[in-house]
Structure 1
Amino acid sequence: MTAELKRMCKSLRLAHVADIYDRIPFEDPVQYAEALLTMELQLREEAKADRLIKKAKFIQEKSLSSFQWSEKVHFPPQMDATELGTLQFIERKENLIFTGSTGTGKTHLATGIGHEACRKGCEVRFYRVSDLAEVLEKAWAEGRWGQFRNRFKKVDLIILDEMGYVPFNKEGAELLFQLISDWYEQTSLIITSNLEFSQWNRVFSDSRLTAALVDRVIHHAHILNFTGDSFRVTHALSRQK
């Protein structure tokens, strides 16, 4: 490709044409133009998905297709695996709550859904709740609280992983409540927890705040219960046989 053609591609923001134009089979001008631009669009979408996945800051590389469904994942009446895979709950600004013992696949499924959402063009953010508590308190102490809250205005899905493993102090609980109040009916949440809602008082120091937070979280929510033994323990035991 000539320098002039490269310049025009850059001017037209055709980021990939210069790299792929000689790999497209030519049958006739219309076929070639359609194939070339189709590939340009496809590579743009892939690059965008990669950027969104990087911004989400997942701690694992998990896909929705790699999740092993079983009878140990209990759906509410109005949802099943097929419906979940459509991600329509994000369009409806609904929440997903995954409850169950450690190691039963909650984080894997939440991460897989998050990756799929990124590939469909959604802005996603992933936090371990224990890490988020530190981030919130630091933002407050450094006078960046308002700026931090504004980061989520255009986010479509927020994943809060491992709610209940580490308790919040009073200030941290109040800051998280403010965030969830901001997100209420504006952004979809996925929350994973090893605790039932009746046990969330262990996490937050104020029972009234806990009740108000749970009320916002479970409104418009689909609750999935994960049962059975830990996949990691089961796998480790199987290798010893």
Structure 2
Amino acid sequence: MSQSPPDHTVDAARLPVMLSTLRLPSIGRHWQGFADRADREGWGAARYLAALCDHELADRDARRIGRHLAEAGLPRGKTFASFEFAAVPTIRKAHLSALGNGDAWLEQGANILCFGPSGTGKSHAAAAIGHALVEGGRRVLFTRTTDLVQKLQAARRDLALPAMLSRLDRFDCLILDDLGYASKDQAETSVLFELIAERYERRSLIVTCNQPFSEWNRIFPDAAMTVAAIDRLVHHATILEMNAESFRQRAAVSNKRAQDEMPATTINDNQNEGQT
């Protein structure tokens, strides 16, 4: 008695359900288009499957990066592309880009310290490195130091500081912006020191500060704590000196110069428009 050949047909109606159950949404959206192309171009089964998997993996990476960018809290537009390297001669684009790759120093739990007067691009440089790290698959959190200190102090009051420090461990890099504006209260700065000590040689920090180390006694009122904090931050650290004219001051001067050079009739017209 002859046997009928096995039925190799696929019930296409079941594919969306199966792919959804397997959590393969990109393959679910694109399998039919790839199948049509495979039929036209004579792909083998392995090439067809590999093309679908490549597409799924690329979309999965893009979704993960999107989630990590959303949680990072990075300021918008502060990337390498928008950084005015010509205005900060002490900073080289190749150096910042290498830091943005992140592999070597992040694996060491090393830090980046950005110093300079207000408005010289410290926060921009730190955020640009953070953007590059996230795009490279790392997890980053950008926060004003004062905001994080307040949260750490609240966690200590609730006897939850170890748990919060543990949650922060999921970030490969914390960016502490404007360390120099942190509260001078002993209790609050002590939790900042605990964060620095907890991450020492395990997880990285990027710190921006407008005060040199010689003035950090204004941040940490205890002299021993000041020395210990600096020691842990500087060990395995890259230090960026942002000694340049303030971007904001330069923009204000440029705007003033443009107004001075503007014909009087144009200035009067603009003022009249502003009054209407």
The answer to whether the 8 A contact 1:75-1:223 is kept is no
Change (3 A) 1:234 1:3: farther
TM-score normalised by length of structure 2: 0.79
Among 155, 158, 170, the alignment partner of 1:139 is: 155
Instruction: Note the C-alpha offset of 1:67.
Output: 2.3
Structure 2 Cα separation of the partners of residues 175 and 139 of structure 1: 10
Q: Equivalent residue of 2:168, what SS? A: coil
Q: Which runs of 5+ in 1 are unaligned?
A: none
Structure 2 Cα separation of the partners of residues 34 and 239 of structure 1: 56
Match in the other structure for 2:30 = 20
The answer to whether the 8 A contact 1:73-1:225 is kept is no
The number of residues matched between the two structures is: 239
Q: Which runs of 5+ in 2 are unaligned?
A: 1-10, 259-276
**Rg larger in structure:** 2
Among 54, 68, 74, the alignment partner of 1:38 is: 54
Structure 1 Cα separation of the partners of residues 252 and 33 of structure 2: 47
The amino acid that maps onto 1:158 is L
Structure 1 Cα separation of the partners of residues 166 and 147 of structure 2: 19
Structure 1 Cα separation of the partners of residues 199 and 89 of structure 2: 27
Moved more, 23-32 or 11-20: 23-32
Structure with more of its chain in helix, by fraction? 2
- The answer on 1:206 being equivalent to 2:222 is yes
The amino acid that maps onto 2:17 is R
Match in the other structure for 1:5 = 15
TM-score normalised by length of structure 1: 0.89
Identity of aligned residues (%): 33
The answer to whether the 8 A contact 1:184-1:216 is kept is yes
Change (3 A) 1:207 1:11: same
The answer to whether the 8 A contact 2:20-2:28 is kept is no
Change (3 A) 1:4 1:136: same
CA RMSD of aligned residues (A): 2.3
Structure 2 Cα separation of the partners of residues 12 and 201 of structure 1: 56
Moved more, 187-196 or 202-211: 202-211
The amino acid that maps onto 2:42 is D
